[in-house]
Chain A
Amino acid sequence: MNIIVCVKRVPLTQEVDLEIDESGKKIKEDALAYVINDWDNYAIEAAVQLQENLGGEVTAITIGSEDDEEVLRRALAMGADRAVRIDPGELVTDGYLDATILAKTISGLEYDLIFTGVQSEDRNTGMVGIMLAEQLGLAHAAVTNGIEAEEKAAKVFVELEGGIDEVSRIQLPALLTIQTGINEPRYVSIMGIRKAKKKELKVMTLDDLGFGAEALTPQTQIEEVFLPPETEGAEMIEGDAATIAETLIRIMGEKGVTV
């Protein structure tokens, strides 16, 4: 079972006071710490677990700069066999371009399954996986939280609203967007990541992939980025636990909730 996993490096934004840069179209990124996209961490783990059980090879791919290789080395340390980085140069991609570049890269590879995360922590559009499947002409399942793979097919569990799982069979090759919680991603130590430097990491440019400039026009344009306006109405409830509880019950009552 050969599996390709698309991974992305994203900023760690929890508790960061995000600032918009001068252009008004971007967030200031210089002071941010970067990590692997949480969903992709689960996707790698899912791929590695399948490979451990069924054999085959796992390839991790990212579109990004040299700094982004960190997430590939992480994937290699978790058990991926090889990694590919596509250097987009000066090109600023959107979800559509990411899918296009990935599709071109992957079309030259052998695979049974492609995993992406459901979405990425930075843009959260949730588009790349599905568009990639479309471009490769593959069947896909989105928000996958369980996989039982066989030779030529897989049983997939997909999360629906209200905690309901939909179970279906999918013909391989196929693409699955992986939901967090599908497994428990293993820890890879700093030592493990350093050691993974010995594994193959191939770097390709857009030229190597044979893209002409005109083919790569983003389909989304960011007009403006702004922080959500601070709204009125947050009421800080003061006092000891009993007073706080009482106030809460009163407010909920006023809003029509009976406790």
Chain B
Amino acid sequence: MTSFQTLAVNGNDGITGYVFMWIIAVVALTIFAFIIRSRIDLLLASQKDPRFSNLKRRFRDLINYGFIQKRQPRYLWAGIIHIMIFWGFVVLGLRSLDLVTEGLGLPIFRPFMQSPLGAFYSSLKDVFELIVLVACVWAILRRAIVRPERYEGSHKAEAYLVLGLISFLMVTDMLFEGSGMLLAGEMHGWLPAAWIGTLLLPARSPEALSVILSVTYWLHILAFFLFLNLLPLFKHFHIITALPNVFFRKLKKGEIKPARYGVDDIFDLEKLGVEKIEDFTWKHILDLYTCTECGRCSDNCPANAIGRPLSPKLLTIKLRDHAYQKYPILPASGACKGDEEPVNMVNGIIGLDELWSCTTCGACEEECPVFIEYINKIIDMRRHVLETSQNPNTFNQILMYVEKTGNPFGKPAVKRADWLKEQEVEGVKILKEGDQVDVLYYVDGYASFDPQSQQIAASIAKGLKLAGMDFGILGKLEKDTGHQVRRMGEEGLFQVLVEENTETLKSVDFKWIVTTDPHAYNALKNDYPEPYRVFHYTQFFLSLVETGHLRPKNAVDRKDLYTYHDPCYLGRHNGIYDEPRRLLQSIPDLRLVEMARNRDRSFCCGGGDVMLWHEIEQEEMRMAEKRIQMALDVGATVLVTACPFCLIHFEDTIKTGGLEERIRVVDLMTLFMSSLENPEP
């Protein structure tokens, strides 16, 4: 049996149609290759980035996030629309190939299509054609009528063009198959889309039908090749790049990339950080190609929410526009690759305060359906800013202090254990070289020196004692982990700290490390090369409760309603959501309520690094203020957190906002200690 395609291409005989089709295909593919070449050029010019580790996990994630699209329904309706279109594309891909190959006179899919399985496929394809059509119309209406804010700054015309084109592809195929069936005078199986097509066609006029058959076929083919060539020009490049981008995703959250992959000693490098587009790694360039401009990142970015000059989506769009300008499709249009820069990328296209606005909270990366990375790009650009002395002046002294004294306050190292005296904690071992303990309590700078955070340290020390743990602190041997300095872009100093702390940790014998601070926890766990068995205190104390070492007895006031704020470096970056909640709920009578934004959608308190020392002027309100409002919105009277920086930000905001009557903030450790029957051993 002749296929409708063949009929459409050549009428009943002759070969002119095939020739025509070959011309279209060759021209279209040549143009496509030409366009893609400039995209590949930049990928080749960019930096190394090893992304082939852990293939099993990568394939699993590709299925979960690439094909099952698990992140899509985080925005329910948009997610559903997208899943419909995505699966439509997967199913309709074969149909397109079939249409094209038939037209080329290479009917390789015909045997399949004419088999019973092919009949089933045809029905399936028809169903998806309708699904995709509905989804596209829905998406167009959503954009035009609902106008979600997160599309602000996206390329809107492109979106309409592509949605329109997809709808056009669906409609032409419906009409094509419909007219074919009418001409053949029979229905081929159950084909709902084609059936709808037949309703729109002049069933009684075979002449008109064969014209329509041909015209819709060729329009479909032309639209198909046009679509293919439009992809790499716009955000719809993601149709090609998204699956690879998901496959090559960053696997270890919380970790900051090295200055350059494949370089053991960064001091061998000529320069640090990203100054030009080519200084990004190929994966970060692929990110730029892949961004769908959906705006989910910015919608969740706390910096964006409080009016700081940062929107992750726009950061990507700006970098992409810059990349495409620097690597244009037509080389004649004044491209200058490599060294000559017509404009500064950093401190030009991307503003300095745009970079410093980020708290590295990770909300954007948690949300992005195609796993685009922000933190590493931002830190990489910060590295360049710092190396070229364009950093805020306030950093100078902080970094000098960290270098010279091991803490950002410039307090003498010999005073690092003085919090024991100041907080009246007795009997804590201060470790020396060669000492042996079960638990090494890594206090870190803030909990050692900041009076507010010291209280957390005191509770931890007392709790460990109460549980009969064999533990000690490093005192003057301990230096800050360097979490902050690394995120400020001072990679050299970070490396020095890693070296020094690693030496120190080597010199004592311990089984586990417990930290006060989620940032120190993250640094030791994800940024340090040694595989320490490190726990945040919430994890450790939960296990002490669950193994019966500690038993919270004192009930809290039932009038209070507690809510828990997930610190970014505990939650999103390290997946510790349940332990703090379980520890909280081990306290008798504690009533816990969740804020609207909780767990992986937690809203940053203002951050534990740059923000402590640099104020972004362009800010409508403080992040902490917004977060406290969220707690008030659910009627909470106590905001519990598990990080010294959250505590500082919240306490400060409650005081300056005069909110003491309505809500108070407490660190989970302090709260937990007060629930123990006999907190003073």
Q: Which residues does A use to contact B, with CB under 8 Å?
A: 12, 14-16, 31-35, 184-195
Closest 5 CB pairs of A and B: A190-B492, A186-B389, A191-B492, A33-B404, A187-B396
A15 to B404 alpha-carbon distance, docked (Å): 14
A190→B413 contact, CB < 8 A? no
B412 at the binding interface (Cβ < 8 Å): yes
**A12 proximity list for chain B (CB < 8 A):** 404-405, 410
Q: How far is the CA of A185 from the CA of B492 in the complex (A)?
A: 19
State whether A14 touches B491 (Cβ < 8 A): no
A70 to B661, CA, bound (A): 53
Q: How far is the CA of A34 from the CA of B404 in the complex (A)?
A: 7
Give chain B residues whose Cβ lies under 8 Å from the Cβ of A188.
Answer: 389
Which B residue sits closest to A194, measured CB to CB? B267
* Nearest CB of chain B from residue A61's CB, rounded to whole Å: 22
A187 adjacent to B386 (CB under 8 Å): yes
- Taking each of A31, A35, A184, A187, which has the highest tally of chain B beta carbons within 10 Å of its own beta carbon? A187
Residues of A near B412 (CB, < 8 A) are 15-16, 31-33
> Which of B396, B411, B496 has a CB less than 8 Å from the CB of A190?
B496
A193 CB contacts on chain B under 8 angstroms: 492
- The closest CB in chain B to the CB of A14 belongs to B410
Q: Which of chain B's residues have a CB closer than 8 A to the CB of A15?
A: 410-412, 415
Contact indicator per residue, chain B 272-301, by CB within 8 Å of chain A (1) or not (0): 100000000000000000000000000000
Are A35 and B396 in contact (CB-based, < 8 A)? no
**In the complex, what's the smallest C-beta–C-beta distance from A242 to chain B, in angstroms?**
15
Q: Which residues of B contact A186 (CB under 8 A)?
A: 389, 396
Interface centre among A35, A189, A194, A195 (most CB of B within 10 A): A189
Chain B interface size, under 10 / 10 to 19 / 20 to 34 / 35 or more: 20 to 34
* A186 vs B399: C-alpha distance when bound (angstroms): 12
Q: Are A190 and B389 in contact (CB under 8 A)?
A: no
- Which chain B residues (473-496) contact chain A, with CB distance < 8 Å? 490-493, 495-496
CB nearest neighbor in B for A13: B412
Q: Decide if B400 is an interface residue (CB 8 Å cutoff).
A: yes
Q: List the A side residues contacting B269 at CB < 8 Å.
A: 191
CA distance A189 to B403 in the complex (A): 10
| Chain A residues, CB < 8 A from B266 | 191
Query: Which of chain A's residues has its CB closest to B385's CB?
Result: A187
Q: Which residues of B contact A187 (CB under 8 A)?
A: 386, 389, 391, 393, 395-396, 399
With a cutoff of 8 Å between Cβ atoms, the chain B residues found around residue A191 in the complex are: 266-267, 269, 272, 387, 491-492
Cα distance, A35 to B405, chains bound together (Å): 10
Q: Let me know if B414 is at the binding interface, CB within 8 A.
A: yes
Contact B493 A190, beta carbon cutoff 8 Å: yes
1/0 per residue, CB under 8 A from A, across B378-397: the answer is: 00000000110101010110
- Residues of A within 8 Å of B410, CB to CB, are 12, 14-15
Interface mask (B395-432 → A, CB under 8 Å = 1, otherwise 0):
11001100111000011111100000000000000000
Complex: how many Å from CA A195 to CA B414? 31
Taking CB atoms, residues of chain B closer than 8 Å to A34 are: 404
User: Which residues of chain B have C-beta atoms less than 8 A from A194's C-beta?
Assistant: 267, 492
Chain B interface mostly: helix
Q: Which single residue of chain A is at the shortest CB-CB distance from B494? A: A190
* A and B contact pairs by CB, cutoff 8 A, 19 listed: A12-B405, A12-B410, A14-B410, A15-B410, A15-B412, A31-B412, A33-B404, A33-B405, A33-B412, A187-B389, A189-B387, A190-B492, A190-B495, A190-B496, A191-B267, A191-B272, A191-B491, A191-B492, A192-B492
| Known pairs A12-B410, A31-B412, A31-B414; A190 contacts B393 (CB<8 A) | no
Closest chain B residue, CB of each to CB of A77: B389
- B194-222 vs A, CB cutoff 8 Å, 1 = contact: the mask equals 00000000000000000000000000000
- Residues of B430-485 whose CB lies within 8 A of A: none
Give the nearest-CB partner of A197 in chain B. B267
Count of inter-chain pairs, beta carbons less than 8 A: 58
> Considering the chains assembled together, what is the distance between the CA atoms of A193 and B495 in angstroms?
14
Min C-beta distance of B123 to chain A, whole Å: 64
Residues of A close to B405: CB separation below 8 A = 12, 33
Query: B267 contacts which chain A residues (CB < 8 A)?
Result: 191, 194-195
- Please give me the residue from chain B that is nearest to A185 by CB atom: B396
List 6 extra interface pairs beyond A12-B405, A15-B411, A190-B495, CB under 8 A.
A12-B404, A15-B415, A187-B389, A187-B393, A189-B490, A194-B492
Nearest CB in chain B to that of A78: its residue: B389
CB-nearest residue of chain B relative to A191? B492
A190 and B395 contact, Cβ closer than 8 Å, known pairs A31-B414, A33-B412: no
Q: For the complex, what is the distance from the CA of A15 to the CA of B412, rounded to whole Å? A: 7
A110 to B391, CA, bound (A): 34
A184 near B393: Cβ-Cβ < 8 Å: yes
Name the distance in Å between B463's Cβ and chain A's nearest Cβ: 29
Beta-carbon contact of B387 and A33 below 8 Å: no
State whether B400 touches A35 (Cβ < 8 A): yes
Residue of B413, B414, B415, B492 touching A189 (CB-CB under 8 A) = B492
Q: Which residues of A contact B493 (CB under 8 A)?
A: 189-190
> What residues on B are CB-neighbors of A185 within 8 Å?
396
Which residues on A sit within 8 Å (CB–CB) of B414?
Answer: 31
Complex: A146 Cα to B139 Cα, angstroms: 62
Q: When chains A and B are docked, how far (Å) is the Cα of A35 from the Cα of B397?
A: 11
C-alpha gap A215/B576 in the complex (Å): 70
Collect the chain A residues with CB atoms within 8 Å of residue B415's CB: 15
In this complex, the member of B395, B400, B493 whose beta carbon has the largest number of chain A beta carbons within 10 angstroms is B400
* Shortest distance between the CB of B492 and any CB in chain A (Å): 3
Query: Nearest Cβ distance between residue B613 and chain A, in whole angstroms?
Result: 12
List the B residue with the shortest CB-CB distance to A188: B389
Per the bound structure, the CA–CA distance linking A189 and B496 in Å amounts to: 12
- Expressed in whole angstroms, the minimum distance between the Cβ of B675 and any Cβ of chain A is 28
Q: CA–CA, A14 to B407, complex, Å?
A: 13
Cα(A192)–Cα(B272), bound, Å:
10
Tell me, rounded to whole Å, the shortest Cβ–Cβ distance linking B175 to chain A: 64
CB contacts (< 8 Å) of B395 on chain A: these are 187
A12 to B414, CA, bound (A): 13
Q: Which residues of A contact B389 (CB under 8 A)?
A: 186-188
Beta-carbon nearest neighbor of B391 in chain A: A187
A137 to B410, CA, bound (A): 40
Find out whether the CB atom of A190 lies under 8 angstroms from the CB atom of B490: yes
> Are B386 and A33 in contact, with the CB atoms below 8 A?
no
Chain B neighbourhood of A16, CB < 8 A: 412
- Contact partners of B272 in chain A: CB under 8 A: 189, 191
A187 to B496, alpha carbons, bound, how many Å?
17
Contacts of B495 in A (CB 8 A): 190
